[in-house]
Amino acid sequence: MKRVKEALVLILAGGVGSRLNILVKQRAKPAVPFAGIYRIIDFSLSNVMNSGLNQVGVLTQYKPLSLMSHLGMGEPWDFIGRKRGVAILPPRTGERESDWYQGTADAVRRNIDFLESNPADEVVILSGDHIYHMDFDTMIEYHRSKSADVTVGMMVVPKSQIHEFGAGIVDQNNRIIDWEEKPKVPRTNLASMGIYVFDYKYLLDSLNRDKAEIDFGMHILPRAINDDNVFAYPFYGYWRDVGTIQAYWEANMDVLQQDSGISPQRWQIRTNVESEGRFADRPPARFGDNCHLDTCLVSAGSHIKGSVINSVLAPGVVVEEGAVVKNSIIFEDCFISKGATVDLAILDKSVNVGANAIIGFGDNYKVANYLKPSHLYTGISLVGKGAMVPEDYRIGRNCVVDSDINEDAYQEKAIEDGGSLLLP
């Protein structure tokens, strides 16, 4: 007989996610919209739901209000009932920023009262900012079969990317025998996914042992590998950390490709369609007689009269006649006026693009953004929530337009490649 599941889930959703630039100016990283109708955290929550796990704590911190509104009481993911629930664990901070969570282990330690009030066999610890599909029930059974103290979800990545991850070296039984956190010279291509299963008592003992151990990857895991039983759980499906603009854009584009491995509908990913009045009552999308669509995702409430090519459109987007949207991600309720072009750009909610304006002007993709060269360097330009772009205006490549910018803020005739227009 299959053993009854008694695992507690913690989702770490408090990170700043600063590499997503203005997309996280007014929201937490896990609350960033994805693939038209979802938010990033929907994937972790839906994986938990589909794995049959019942008790979830979501650790919030940075700009948590939009995330808390989205989670609500957990109804969209069936976390309702006597033995099911999602608990939002608010920030445990003082008056200074230095009082914020100092690392992943520190975040869990500061919520140890939640752990102690919800005893379990295991604790599953997840990040709220990854796009993937995974059966945690299978991972828990694997953890039990190994009599492990800790099990780490791991997958093979190119060695050129391993410096972005924790890396594990394993023996023939998948026991982790050595660990490197973001190695510059890697000895392995096996990367941590930031998904852990801990024995419940072992986790409590680890958190109480040394409060200087503030991070799982940097502190808890290396000690556990040296002293106790830590195993790698191999994962072979689609998984992506969307913590950068480039990775976020690529993951959205993957949704458009049938052979990419990502399929939110097939994965049974759920979202909260009613939070903030998002699109529960939106009418079906409408398409004009002369519109042109090619490899795109168009959500409910949109009205397309122009061209949409290789792009993802959230609910309520209007593309007027003669307007072109290509290789772009458009959030809710944006308005693209007649003759305008949006090329290789991400527009946050309620952006108004004037007639004949161009976002993504020119062919020079090599000039990185001057203020944030590590954020924007492949040609993608960003326009913040509620901004407007004047008619006939030109915005180049790797540019940033701040949230709530109005027409009076545009002093020059164009924003050249790598430029930014920011509020004081």
List the chain domain ranges. Answer: 7-255, 279-421
Q: What is the pLDDT of residue 280?
A: 67
- Residue-wise pLDDT for 145-167, tens only, equals 999 999 999 999 998 888 889 99
Checking if the pLDDT of 111 tops 50, the result is yes
pTM reported for the whole predicted model: 0.94
Q: 216: closest CA among 237, 230, 235? A: 230
β-strands 312-313, 297-298: how paired?
parallel
Q: What is the pLDDT of residue 64?
A: 82
Q: 74: closest CA among 97, 56, 100? A: 56
- Residue-wise pLDDT for 115-133, tens only, equals 999 999 999 999 999 999 9
CA distance 178 to 225: 7
Q: Look at the block and give the residue holding tokens 């700043």.
A: 16
Q: Look at the block and give the residue holding tokens 């490899």.
A: 295
Q: 117: closest CA among 231, 236, 1, 8? A: 8
Mean pLDDT of 255-275: 92
Per-residue pLDDT band for 238 (boundaries 50, 70, 90) equals very high
Q: Look at the block and give the residue holding tokens 């709530």.
A: 404
Q: 169: closest CA among 188, 143, 192, 196? A: 188
Per-residue pLDDT band for 2 (boundaries 50, 70, 90) equals very low
Residue 113 CB neighbour total at 10 angstroms: 10
β-strands 286-287, 190-199: how paired?
unpaired
- Residue-wise pLDDT for 314-372, tens only, equals 999 999 999 999 999 999 999 999 999 999 999 999 999 999 999 999 999 999 999 99
Cα torsion through 346, 348, 349, 351, rounded to 10: -80
- Residue-wise pLDDT for 391-418, tens only, equals 999 999 999 999 999 999 998 889 999 9
251-281 core/surface letters (b: 16 or more CB in 10 A; e: else): bbbbbbeeeeebebeebebbbbeebeebbee
Two tokens at 296? 């795109």
Residue 96 CB neighbour total at 10 angstroms: 7
Per-residue pLDDT band for 4 (boundaries 50, 70, 90) equals very low
Q: What would the DSSP string read from start to end of 292-339?
A: EEES-EE-TT-EESSEEES-EE-TT-EE-TT-EEES-EE-TT-EE-TT
Per-residue pLDDT band for 108 (boundaries 50, 70, 90) equals very high
- Residue-wise pLDDT for 171-229, tens only, equals 999 999 999 888 888 889 999 999 999 999 999 999 999 888 899 989 999 999 999 99
Over the chain, what is the mean pLDDT? 92
Structural contact between residues 36 and 312, judged by C-beta atoms closer than 8 angstroms: yes
pLDDT above 90 as % of the chain: 78
- Residue-wise pLDDT for 26-84, tens only, equals 898 999 999 999 999 999 999 999 999 999 999 998 888 888 889 988 999 999 877 78
Two tokens at 295? 């490899």
CA atoms within 13 A on the CB side of 127: 24
More confident residue, 127 or 90: 127
CATH class of the domain defined by 279-421: mainly beta
Instruction: Tell me which fold the domain 7-255 belongs to.
Output: Spore Coat Polysaccharide Biosynthesis Protein SpsA; Chain A (3.90.550)
